[in-house]
Structure 1
Amino acid sequence: MSASLVVSAGASSHTGRRRSLNEDAYLASAPVFLVADGMGGHEAGERASAAVVDAFSPLIGRPALVLDDVRRALGDAKDAVEALSSESTGRAGTTLSGVVLAAVDGMGYWLVLNIGDSRTYRLADGELEQITVDHSVVQELIEAGELTVEESATDHRRNIITRAIGAGSTGDADYWMFPAELGDRILICSDGLSSEISDDDIREIVFVESDPQRAADVLVSRAVSAGGRDNVTAVVVDAVLVASRPGSPVAADEPDVADTRPRESAGGMR
């Protein structure tokens, strides 16, 4: 079975300037590209993010995935993180954001998932778009009209997230699915990146740096230089071969997945 979407990828991660442990973990091997940002203290966050990566690792090597594959892996990840919370003094938890390679009627698709305030962006035709919507207090305040995007960057509640895997949360994921196009670049990052450098700076780097590994390295280095207050992780995925046929839409009856674009977004930081 030939792949409907072939990609090239790069990944980089750094502990940052203020943390002793890197509680971020990532997976960057087709068809799965994820970033998990752990939390909980006493190494609980480091173990939680690693448990999520372990749960998705068996999917590596398949030409494409479907929503049920992702949901099963996510269920395994939740069970593993909950087990950590019961074993340790810390309340283990982690965010999760990323993309898996999918196919519909032989066409290459991106299937994006998100829990928490790590982010997935898409660069297409020179424009950077945040696909995911942060699960954070400041995001809810923006949507309620009580806070502007500019105000959210310095609001004292910006560290509070509203969904996670573990940490007492239900861990419900949001999903988006849309056709891949040749030349698409996907960026997945922890909030240690998006809280240190602006979307404009992110866009400039991912636009200028043609090699995905170089782009990931420069993004992380720039965030560390800007302050590095948290762990920083970036995964960059480029669509280098896309099988597509016009007029083949996403199945309308696919639950929880649609060819969608997010509402106005602004991220919280932890």
Structure 2
Amino acid sequence: MGWEFAHGSDIGGRSEQQDSYSILDHMGNYLLVLADGMGGREQGAMASDTVIETAHTRFYSPHRAHPEQFLKRLCMEAHRKILKLGRNNGTSSGSTAIFLYLQDNEAYWAHVGDSRLYHFHNDKLLFHTKDHSMLALQQQNSEFGNSAESNQLYMCLGGDNDVVPEINAAGLNNDDLFLLCSDGFWSEISPDEILRQLALPGTLQYHTDMLIRTASERGGKNADNISLLIARHQTRKRLPGLLKLVFRK
């Protein structure tokens, strides 16, 4: 069994792309990473780059930790590096992070912030990550009132908050599909719309491009940065060779 991947991004209505993502392949194990940086000019981009660089360094270094422990350590190391980056530059910066580790017939993922992972199977949404945002807390508990902003996070990498990554795992089935995205995407496109697009004729990359275009058009001149990664579990094909990709548009 193998995997098919598709990816893309759009700067939206912003002056700078602060999202970064990467797809890494090492001996048949894959690590997908998506980070949405936050901070002043260039600081957000530097923070999200730090997440990607940390993932590259650690994934291709010898490691024997269980994937869940590996992902936790990855989050904490990226957090420390972003904090150091802020101290060295005399500024504050931060980043969300989604990591998806694919190994044999199992998937593991970790997240911090409000970038999301969706897990689909047989045209159904099985799971999606919960945002580490004040709005999400408000929706869960009325004690928080109703004044939270949609992009106000209570946990991110590089922030002055404690970092407790949420880690989950699932066994893999035929035709499982994982989607990783920044908030510029999920704020405009619902899971049902994702499934409707994927049901249409076309390649996985075509569907990814169409979803990104739709999100950007809906966001208009104020659209946030948009990034999207899709991984589909296949029964017949396996991608050959080494994937080591970093993207920013």
- Aligned partners of 1:8, 1:45: CA distance in 2, in Å? 30
**Structure 1 segments of 4+ aligned residues over 6 angstroms from their partners:** none
1:98 corresponds in structure 2 to 99
- Aligned partners of 1:61, 1:181: CA distance in 2, in Å? 29
- Aligned partners of 1:35, 1:209: CA distance in 2, in Å? 27
Q: CA deviation at 1:219?
A: 1.6
Letter in 2 for 1:33: L
SS at match of 1:171: coil
- Aligned partners of 2:137, 2:123: CA distance in 1, in Å? 29
Change (3 A) 1:162 1:99: same
- Aligned partners of 1:86, 1:61: CA distance in 2, in Å? 27
Once the two structures are superposed, the pairs formed by residues 27-46 of structure 1 within 5 Å of their partners are: 27-30=22-25, 31-46=30-45
Please list every run of 5 or more consecutive structure 1 residues that lacks an aligned counterpart in the other structure.
Answer: 243-270
| Equivalent pair of 2:115/2:182 in contact (CA under 8 Å) | yes
SS at match of 1:220: helix
TM-score w.r.t. structure 1 length?
Answer: 0.76
| Equivalent pair of 2:38/2:44 in contact (CA under 8 Å) | yes
Match of 2:5 among 6, 9, 19: 9
- Aligned partners of 1:238, 1:60: CA distance in 2, in Å? 23
Matched, 1:131 2:125: no
1:175 corresponds in structure 2 to 167
Q: CA deviation at 1:7?
A: 1.3
Change (3 A) 1:52 1:114: same
- Aligned partners of 2:198, 2:90: CA distance in 1, in Å? 40
Once the two structures are superposed, the pairs formed by residues 230-269 of structure 1 within 5 Å of their partners are: 230-241=224-235
Matched, 1:23 2:15: no
1:195 corresponds in structure 2 to 187
- Aligned partners of 1:218, 1:96: CA distance in 2, in Å? 24
Q: CA deviation at 1:61?
A: 10
| Equivalent pair of 2:71/2:109 in contact (CA under 8 Å) | no
Letter in 1 for 2:203: D
Once the two structures are superposed, the pairs formed by residues 83-232 of structure 1 within 5 Å of their partners are: 83-103=84-104, 108-145=105-142, 157-208=149-200, 211-228=203-220, 229-232=223-226
* Structure with greater helix percent: 2
Q: CA deviation at 1:97?
A: 1.4
Matched, 1:69 2:70: yes
Question: C-alpha offsets along residues 190-241 of structure 1, whole Å, 9 cap, x if unaligned?
Answer: 0000112233222322343653322221221111111152100000001114
- Aligned partners of 1:61, 1:12: CA distance in 2, in Å? 27
Q: Which has the higher contact order (CA 8 A, sep 6+)?
A: 2
Change (3 A) 1:209 1:165: farther
Q: CA deviation at 1:146?
A: 6.5
Letter in 2 for 1:237: A
Please list every run of 5 or more consecutive structure 2 residues that lacks an aligned counterpart in the other structure.
Answer: 237-249
Greater shift, 202-211 or 133-142, is seen at 202-211
TM-score w.r.t. structure 2 length?
Answer: 0.82
SS at match of 1:176: strand
Change (3 A) 1:89 1:210: farther
RMSD: 2.5
- Aligned partners of 1:68, 1:51: CA distance in 2, in Å? 20
Letter in 1 for 2:129: T
Question: C-alpha offsets along residues 160-193 of structure 1, whole Å, 9 cap, x if unaligned?
Answer: 1111001212222101111011101100000000
Letter in 1 for 2:118: Y
Identity of aligned residues (%): 25
1:265 corresponds in structure 2 to none
